[in-house]
A and B are shown apart, each in its own frame.
Chain A
Amino acid sequence: MSELLVGTRLLFGSGRGNRVRFALMAIGGSIGVCCLAIVLTIPGILAAQDGRVAARQPVIPRNLSAAEGSALPLSLERSDPYGSRPLTRIFMARGTRQIQPPPGLKAVPARGEVFVSPRLHELLHAEPGLAQRLPGRETGLIGAEGLARPEELVAYVGMSRGDLPDGTPFSGFGEKWAPTATVEPSTLDILRFTMAGIVLLPLAVFLSVCARLSAAERARRLAALRLLGMSAKQVQRVNAVETVAAAGAGALLGLGEYWVLNRVMSRVGLPEFTWYSSDGALSSSTLLACLVGCPTLAWFVGRASARRAAVNPLAVRRTAIERRPSAWGFFPLVAGSGIVAGYCLAGATGHAPRDTGLSSLLVPSAVVLIGVGLVTTLPTTCRHIARRVARSTHSVALGLAMRRNEAEPGGALRVAAGLVVLVFAASLAQGVLIELAQVTKNTSPVQDYDMRYTQLTTAQRHSLEQLPGVRAHVVIMDSTLAGASETAWSPRVVLATCAQLRNIVSWVGECVDRQPLRLWDAKLAQDAPVAPGKKLLLQTGGGHRDVAISAPERTVRYREFDDALILGSQSILAPPSELPPQARPDSAMLKLISASDPDTVRKVLDGIGHVAPTIDVIPQGLNVTALQQIAVVKTLLALGMVLGAVIGVAAYVVAATDRAVERRPQVTALALLGARPRTLRAVQVTQVVLPLSVGLLLAVVLGKMAESSYLVTGGGTVFWDGTGLPLLVVGTLGVVAVAALGSLPLVGRRIDPELIRRD
């Protein structure tokens, strides 16, 4: 109890300077708590969004009789890309049985009625062509309870039952799970882990920095208490009372900041990620983590930071130099870097591990070990380097700065750790993005759209083939080998002219029309060729006789565009006339080809929507759901980076300022002894730049190794990200430059002798 009283007395009764320090600690802590609240709330926001998507899913009854089926309304959902975002169109046809309307609507839309989300409403005004995908007239807007997020593109389109032959009867709305999560659970785990690395590690450093503000001055005060008769534990508790009070005030303030931020940002939104402010409401677990977790952490930090004053008060009173940091600090770094080095080696030698079970444990452990190790080794590494440089240098400024870093490695750690951990996490975030990008993007210069041939009328087919932006069209269908079993492999048949072929691929050799040719691309994996002369049967459906063609001997060489697989080597190119005009082959797909730039893709999809609104279009290589996910993940990672940067910079500013303030008597003495201002500035910059540079160098090297390990174990084909390296290096150099420049104002221009006259 007495410790509490003394701590409180010291907190509020130690003059203006102490109150300012308390305010700084509380404000610093509040920034950290606000960032923590953001990170902890993100899964809740995603869950709320998925919950609303699940709530609008039609419930499809099982074992439905024909009579029941005809009484129930029908629904058909189509999701196709609008740029990189999915446009969800839910077609509905009323039945005789009345059901509850979907969330966000007052009634199931009648034929010709279109209800759209607010964002889609805006887009329809901006781009009237988009209306082609929504047959009917816009009748109203979908309410927030029917949308995952404010920016979602959703439309309910009322149709007649006859217009929805593929529609499914449903009895109501509300499933347990959304068909696709906003962010896949596995991706969410990676995201959480990365966010923890980007935000929570710097946050822990930052809170420690805040809790140790004015460390030297406080240590002297605590040492005095110890010398006056307080026990070591009592002294530690007195200090902890101060830090807990500041952390508690910071937590309350931080939650308030979060509340305001949530309100503002939910209106403004982030690129590709918007949410309703109610989704971002603080959960009880988040409140608990912030209000209890942070002060608890502060308690331990407060106790730990008072340890030296409690154990050796005399040394503190006499401003003894810090003890040499323990070599044990290297252990996590060595262990973690050993693991990632092993994975890097495995990847480089082509022995990427197939067993993901062990890797899923080892790689994250290594990442955490390295993150912690970067922080714990920084004092020892910096002290060692500083000592050597101080001995060998002839520069006064460098010598003074190095002696300072040698004598106070903990100060160097506090200044640099936040930014170092941030840069380490940034390289990991790059890895996550690379891993995700491998599965989502169409990197080919051409985009193809597959539609089932049988779902289109002849008129629709012709219209689609003439759409603006479509550069070629082909029909691709399966064949069977005459006399072989149905499961035996046989080549696909591409019904196209040579001219069409030339529009589909990047290069075509000698091509002859009106006869079957064997397609051959040397760069592609080859299926086993069918012997020339073998009879291939094309099932034409619609009551027509099967068409037979002979496997040709003659080959046409061609080359697919990079990253595209439209035709497939060893397919048979056959004249379009082989297919009778009224044929309805089940296996046939109409494939349209356009350029892959977003505008053209959008225009073609709009056109398809106009011609055949309910057709199921498969844009090959364009995984719009994944694209949406990666957009969200990118935004969240970017948010994490921004938060990490805010925390890292705040930690740097607070620690560097604190260090400068504590250093003022010595700097004043130096100035009085005639040190030039530029010498003082050089000392200030150098003593900041050294630990930062050492830490950042380690962070970049180990970060890239950790990223590579992640890629090696991620199942992708890219193990090394060379393209992200320049950005990381430039960013790192930028951090050093900004930190160096930022430290300059900390050297005061005016000499105030009062600073050295008072203890």
Chain B
Amino acid sequence: MFEVLTAQGIHLSYGSSQAVKGAGIVLRRGEIAAVTGASGSGKSSLLYCLAGVLPVSQGEVRFEGRVLGDLDDGELSSLRRDRFGFVFQYGELLPELTVEENAALPLRLAGQRKAQAFAAARDVLGRLGLADLRDRRPSQVSGGQNQRIAVARALVHQPAVVFADEPTGSLDSVNAEAVLEEFLTLARSQQSAVVLVTHDADVAARADTRYTMVDGVLALQGRSAR
């Protein structure tokens, strides 16, 4: 399978404390990789290193052969806009935008015309069962629906990699299960790779590849047969 994202020996320090110590990862197209670990183990820091948001102090991260550390701010923004998707723990939808506008945001940021972007957003929202909510604001829908909208926003532009930081961390188990199922199904159908950071072993069990992180050290835990 085609490798979209690789990281080798990456380190990240916050002052004197090392958040990530020599982590390495290989992510293939359509692969779902989960990183588990206790709070403060450095898994979110690793996620943002892989996304090129936090610059690594040692090692390198490559996306489709390009070293992220060599890219300037504009190129990194472009990468995040066009090739990456993000799902945050609390959704981080823009409260002033409608559901549809939130979902269409990556396409609009990428310069796509309003009508096309909204059509794509409506399509994804429909696949996630949110078509009826498109004119509402995030404050007018439930927490689970908000997180689905965040998933729609992450996948609307069919990114190569989706970075998900505790995507179901703010939801109850029923909602979490449903959102995760829809998220991963949609990602797989689009052949988008996913880096999933979670402290929940059950969530991680849904991934193709599982890593654990303890005190900044990343270790491969296992791969599923999928």
Contacts and interface: CB of A to CB of B under 8 A. Distances in A.
Same complex: yes
Interface of A: 315, 318-321, 394, 396, 399-400, 403-404, 406-408, 665-666, 668-677, 679, 749, 751, 753, 756-757, 759
Interface string B83-98: 0101011101011110
- Shortest 8 CB-CB distances between A and B: which pairs? A674-B81, A407-B96, A674-B80, A669-B92, A320-B139, A403-B96, A396-B108, A753-B48
A123 to B, nearest CB: 62
Given A672-B80, A673-B153, A407 B106 contact: no
B184 interface: no
Interface stretch (B23-31, B71-79, B123-131, B212-220): B71-79
A502 to B, nearest CB: 76
B179 interface: no
B223 interface: no
B94 A753 contact: no
Contact of A673 (B89, B106, B113, B140): B106
Contacts of B105: 670, 673
B188 interface: no
Contacts of A675: 77, 81, 109
B53 A674 contact: no
A672 B86 CA distance: 7
Contacts of A668: 92
B94 A670 contact: yes
A677 B44 CA distance: 23
Interface of B: 44, 48, 51, 53-54, 73-74, 77-82, 84, 86, 88-90, 92, 94-97, 101, 105-106, 108-110, 113-114, 137-140, 153, 165
B109 A403 contact: no
Given A318-B139, A403-B97, A757-B89, A674 B106 contact: yes
Contacts of B94: 400, 403, 666, 669-670
A321 B109 contact: no
A753 B139 contact: no
The residue in A315, A320, A672 that gathers the most chain B C-beta atoms within 10 A of its C-beta is: A672
A753 B108 contact: no
B110 A674 contact: yes
Given A320-B95, A321-B139, A400-B97, 12 more contacts: A319-B138, A403-B97, A403-B101, A404-B96, A670-B94, A673-B86, A673-B153, A674-B78, A676-B81, A677-B73, A753-B53, A757-B88
A440 B139 CA distance: 63
A677 B114 contact: no
Given A672-B53, A673-B80, A674-B79, A319 B73 contact: no
A396 B73 contact: no
A322 to B, nearest CB: 10
Tell me the dominant secondary structure on chain A's binding face. Answer: helix
Nearest to B88: A756
Contact of A757 (B101, B114, B165): B165
B45 to A, nearest CB: 8
Contacts of A757: 44, 88-89, 165
Given A400-B94, A674-B79, A751-B53, A669 B101 contact: no
Contact of B96 (A406, A672, A751): A406
B54 A753 contact: yes
21 contacts: A315-B139, A320-B139, A321-B95, A321-B139, A394-B113, A394-B114, A396-B108, A403-B101, A669-B94, A670-B105, A672-B51, A672-B53, A673-B105, A674-B82, A675-B81, A676-B81, A679-B109, A751-B53, A753-B48, A753-B53, A753-B165
B81 A666 contact: no
Interface centre among A665, A668, A675 (most CB of B within 10 A): A675
A403 B100 CA distance: 13
A471 to B, nearest CB: 72
Q: Which of A404, A668, A673, A675 is packed against the most chain B CB atoms within 10 Å?
A: A673
Contacts of B139: 315, 318-321
B81 to A, nearest CB: 2
Nearest to A406: B96
B137 A321 contact: yes
A673 B109 CA distance: 8
Contacts of A674: 77-82, 84, 106, 109-110
Nearest to A394: B114
Nearest to A401: B96
B135 to A, nearest CB: 12
Contacts of B110: 674
B103 to A, nearest CB: 12
Contacts of B113: 394
A400 B153 CA distance: 16
Nearest to B117: A396
B137 to A, nearest CB: 6
A396 B95 contact: no
A674 B79 CA distance: 7
A677 B73 CA distance: 9
Contacts of B84: 674
Contacts of A669: 86, 88, 92, 94
A320 B92 CA distance: 13
A676 B77 contact: yes
Nearest to B92: A669
Contacts of A319: 95, 138-139
Given A319-B95, A319-B139, A321-B96, A677 B89 contact: no
Contacts of B78: 674
B108 A756 contact: no
Contacts of B51: 672
B172 to A, nearest CB: 16
A399 B105 CA distance: 11
A408 B77 contact: no
B156 to A, nearest CB: 11
A404 B108 CA distance: 16
Nearest to B139: A320
A666 B89 CA distance: 13
Contacts of A400: 94, 97
Nearest to A687: B96
A679 B108 CA distance: 11
Contacts of A321: 95-96, 137, 139
A671 B51 CA distance: 12
A406 B98 CA distance: 12
A677 B53 CA distance: 14
A400 B165 CA distance: 25
Nearest to B83: A674
Contacts of B109: 396, 670, 673-676, 679
Contacts of B48: 753
Contacts of B108: 396, 399
B167 to A, nearest CB: 13
A408 B44 contact: no
Contacts of B138: 319
